[in-house]
Amino acid sequence: MTAARPRRTGILGGTFDPPHRAHLALAEAAHVALALERVLFIPAGDPWRKAGRAVSAAVDRLALVRAAVADLPWAEVSTIEVDRDGPTFTLDTVEALRAASPGDEWWFILGADALADLPRWREPVRLASLVRFAVARRGDEASAIVTADLRATVPGIEVRIDLVPMPLLDISATDIRARVRAGRSTASLLPDAVRAEIDARGMYRDT
């Protein structure tokens, strides 16, 4: 029996409603900067942090994510959250992934806006003991990536963070949904294959 070599694996969780070019840029930047062997794209099943708005069906978002990464040999799509009933918590996902691949090294990849929300996730201290965070700037954060709130909630979080260099990309799924609804172009914001799936599924046309 040979012991498997630990793999350096990134996890990119998101609602992916829809997945867009900044998601791919973020994943690729982390893949390169941290020498990650693979990046798992994990669409949320029941995105409890977005309970305020209707989220597209998981089956549709999953199809879009599959289309987005189809040409990327280092990227994989995991249905672990889509397959689970009820709200999904990153901590549960990470614990399940770690149990399935013991010995691997894990990074949770996220934008600074999502990192700032970490204090409101389930058991952030425990999560920070299980993964490192690969963080990219998202907006005009002249301020520090680590907020006072986060530092107070997860003492020592700074040493668990790897900054991912990437150009600021002013792209959001919220803006893309609005553009599709208004019939405006999304050509520079979405991979062609994702745009084709959105069209084929008739997504984002109303509400």
Our CB check for ligand ATP shows the closer of 16 and 89 to be 16
Our CB check for ligand ATP shows the closer of 114 and 194 to be 114
Burial of 25 (0-12, 13-18, 19+ CB in 10 A): middle
138 binds ligand ATP (CB under 6 A): yes
Question: Residue from 127, 136, 145, 203 that binds ligand ATP (CB under 6 A)?
Answer: 136
Q: In the stretch 54-93, what mask flags binding to ligand ATP with x, by CB under 6 A?
A: ----------------------------------------
Give, rounded to a whole angstrom, the gap between the first and last alpha carbons of the chain: 56
Question: Residue from 11, 16, 69, 133 that binds ligand ATP (CB under 6 A)?
Answer: 16
What is the Cα–Cα distance from 86 to 92, expressed in whole angstroms? Answer: 12
17 binds ligand ATP (CB under 6 A): yes
Tokens of 16: 């992916």
Residues 143-172 interacting with ligand ATP (rule: CB under 6 A)? 169, 171-172
Find all residues with CB under 8 Å of 158, minimum gap 6, and list them.
Answer: 146, 151
CA dihedral 26, 94, 155, 123 (to 10 degrees): 120
132 binds ligand ATP (CB under 6 A): no
14 binds ligand ATP (CB under 6 A): yes
49 binds ligand ATP (CB under 6 A): no
Stretch that binds ligand ATP, among 9-17, 74-82, 124-132, 185-193 (CB under 6 A): 9-17
Q: In the stretch 101-130, what mask flags binding to ligand ATP with x, by CB under 6 A?
A: ---------xx-xx----------------
The three-point CA angle 180-81-27 to 5° equals 60
Strands 161-163 and 132-136: parallel
34-51: burial string, b at 16+ Cβ within 10 Å, e else: bebebbbbbbbbebeeee
Query: Which residues of the shown chain bind ligand ATP in the complex (CB under 6 A)?
Result: 14-17, 22-23, 26, 110-111, 113-114, 136, 138, 169, 171-174
